[in-house]
Every structure is written in C-alpha cells, then in structure tokens.
Copies of this chain bind each other. A is one copy, B any other.
Amino acid sequence: MRRKGLASMAVQSAEAVTTTPAADAAPASVDLGPAKGLSCRECGEHFPLGPIFACELCFGPLEVAYELPTGDPEALRKQIEAGPDNVWRYAPLLPVPADVAGKPNLNPGWTKLVKADNLARELGITGGLFIKDDSGNPTHSFKDRVVAQAIEAARAFGFTTLSCSSTGNLAGAVGAAAARAGFRSCVFIPHDLEQGKVVMAAVYGGDLVGIEGNYDDVNRFCSELIGDSLGEGWGFVNVNLRPYYAEGSKTLAYEICEQLGWQLPDQLVIPVASGSQLTKIDKGLKELIALGLVEDKPYKIFGAQAEGCSPVSTAFRDGHDVVRPQKPDTIAKSLAIGNPADGPYVLDIARRTGGAVEDVDDEQVVDAIKLLARTEGIFAETAGGVTVGVTRKLLASGALDPALTTVVLNTGDGLKTLDAVAPTSQATAVIKPSLDAFRAAGLAE
C-alpha cells in the first residue's frame, strides 16, 4: 500500500467524505466488520476507514463509527455467549472482520471478574465488590486488548510493520502480537528503561530501538517517522492506528456486564493515563444499553490517578474543564502521562455520571497493592494499586456508595513493577534449619 504523510491522507479523506457517506467510502477491500468509518469526536465530521487519527477540519480525535447489529438482543446475546473465550466473542461490536477468530492473534480478554469478598469486608463495601483482573491477558496487561484491534486494522490496511512508542507494557504487547500475527515489529523505547522491561520487549524477536531521550522524545521521534517515507508501510498502534486500537478497551465494559449476568454495575473505578480506557468503557456501556443487552440504569464512573501524575483529578477537584499538563513523578509509571489526550472527556464522563476523579500518593499505591494481594491473592501492578487505593479514598469521602455494586479495574501484573513493593515485601525471618530456631522466631501457631 502507498502511504503519504498524515496531513495529505486526511485531506484526501475529508474530500472523499463530502461526496459519499462514510459507510460507502471505505475501499471495498477494507473489511472491519461493523466499523463503517471514522468520525470526529469534536465536530462530528465523517471520514472513511483508514490509518488516520485526527480530524482534518478541527484536529479533534477520530473514533470508529459503527453500524451495530439491530434486531433481537436475545439473539445477539446468545451469539456472544456461544463465541470464543476471548475478546472476539464481541466481534459484532468491534472494528474487526467477522472471521477474526480464525486469524492469528493473541486472542486476549475474557479475563476473570473476581468477586472480592475479603477486600469488600476490609473496605466496608456491602453491595458487592469485583476486581476485573486484566493481569490474566497474554502479556499480562490490558494492552493486549487494544493491540489485538490494531493488529486487525493493520492487516486490513496492508501494513507489514507494527510499531509504537512505549515505556514498557505496550512494547511487550506489540512485540508478542506482531510475532504471532506475522508482522515485523519495530518499537521505540527510552534507552534507559529498566532491564526487565527491555528483555520483555526484545524476547519476541522484533526490532527494539532505544532512543536517547525521555518518553516525550520517543513520541516526537515517532511522529516524525510517521510523516516520513522511512515510516512507509508502518502501523503505529497508538498513533495512526489509534482509533481502532482504542476500541479494544470497550471489551472491558462488555465483559464486566456479561460476567455480572448481563447487568450494569453501579460504580466503576478505572485508572486514568491518557483517559482513553475510561472513555471507551463508557462508550461500551452505552452501546450495551442501546443494543438492549443490558437494562438501562444509572452508573457512576470514577477515574483514578497517582498524585505524582494527577492532571485530571486536579482539574476535577478544581472544577476546571481544561486539564493542565504535569511533569510526572510517580511509581505508577504505566499511568504517567502528564498531558492526557482524553482528559477533558474523562472530566465530562465523571461529572455526567455522578462519579469523580481522585488520586492517591505512592505510599497509598503500595499499601493498596499489598491490601489486594493479602485479601484476594491478586498481585497487581502499580496501576492496580492506584485504583484500589482510590476506591478506599472515595469510600472514606463518601463519593463511593458502599451499598452499591462496585467494579475496580486491575489493568496489569505486579511482576512488572516488583520494585514498588520490594522494600516492604521480604522474608519474615531468616533462620537456621532447626526446630529450635523456628520456635525462637515465634512463627508457629
């Protein structure tokens, strides 16, 4: 496929859309199932399906526009339930071809929704508490969900190389998915990333390029590359494939409701990095209501940030509509986006649904990781510590109602952020191999 710079492609698309409806404008060869075009989240302008991500008219973010199934919700529900134990059970609601389950993909999703009765007792929640535990995904973070969608878009658009800028989780998810799906991968990371994250990203055999600079430098470099002929044929999952990629987070909403017996939860606590995940979960819930798959009722969405990177919670607290960028300094590195693209939408959703956006400091993050581990045997990455910690804080402030059904997201695995808990998670005692020594340690009960 022939690619040009982003600007010229977007112009082409905008022109195309003036003469034909988006649904018809997509090239016949692009089959992304119910996805029939892209629409601007700001001005509503339509564009045909393509590797574009910003509106030519207003520079707003583009998102996938669907022709979702109409007809009997019961039939759709049955179809979904008979589908595979992964995100593709929701293929009729995602930007993927109907035969997606037969294509090579890591097939993430359908992770556990854990009824967390022990944690509920500790927190005083009586209405039912659930942890949606995405550490069960193939590379152990929710990133597998979004990359899985990007892979199918990349296939449809004829890309042969998959790429991204990443500080860790995404690099591994792209490397793994590309390997299985038969793409070359070339991902970009800051050159001084922790050794463990480098290994995890490199082991899948794709190219891994360390950029001398910080994450912002990596991002700027990737934007340059997309505009240059050097990047021709490259799908950047979180840039030019972002509209498709982002839709993967909707599957969290679908799974939570299906696992609750096709019911909406009353309250959700969701981490906020770029804000995309929270925004798409709200979109997914609204789709389920519109499709008649769940009964319509109010739900509240709560965003969770780390104090050391809290641009959205700060704006929420201050009553602002604008999110002022911050320079991140927190152990919750997977949430450390100082200038979150979807921050204003997060504010809208939290306010519209009667939720809130709150933050916790690093010490509270560590405490919450250990609380979740101690009560439910779930070892969360720092982002999970953020959501559990914020849940505790919101209960204390009265913003979360303990009598309502509450779902808290854990989006990653503690094995990836061992450093956060290492100082306080050590052997209780070190003893000589003798019963006397054990007796002296006072650990027998």
Binding site for B on A (CB under 8 A): 85, 104, 106-107, 110, 112, 117-118, 136, 138-140, 160-161, 172, 175-182, 184, 186, 189, 191, 195-196, 198-200, 202-205, 207-213, 217-218, 220-221, 224-225, 228, 230-231, 233, 369-370, 373-379, 413-416, 418, 421-422, 425-435, 438-439, 441, 443-445
Return A99 CB to nearest CB of chain B, in Å. 15
Whose C-beta in chain B lies nearest to the C-beta of A107?
B112
Task: Give Cα distance in the complex from A207 to B431, angstroms.
Answer: 13
29 intermolecular pairs with C-beta atoms under 8 Å apart: A85-B85, A107-B112, A140-B140, A172-B379, A176-B377, A179-B373, A181-B377, A186-B443, A191-B427, A195-B422, A199-B418, A199-B421, A203-B369, A203-B370, A203-B421, A207-B428, A209-B431, A210-B431, A211-B432, A213-B433, A218-B433, A220-B433, A221-B433, A221-B434, A221-B438, A225-B435, A225-B438, A230-B435, A233-B445
Task: Give Cα distance in the complex from A23 to B210, angstroms.
Answer: 64
Residues of B within 8 A of A200 (CB): 379, 414-415, 418
Residues of B within 8 A of A370 (CB): 203, 205
Contact A212 B421 (CB under 8 A): no
Task: Give Cα distance in the complex from A143 to B163, angstroms.
Answer: 35
Contact A377 B180 (CB under 8 A): yes
Residues of B within 8 A of A180 (CB): 118, 375-378
CB contact under 8 A between A104 and B117, given known A204-B379, A415-B200, A427-B202: yes
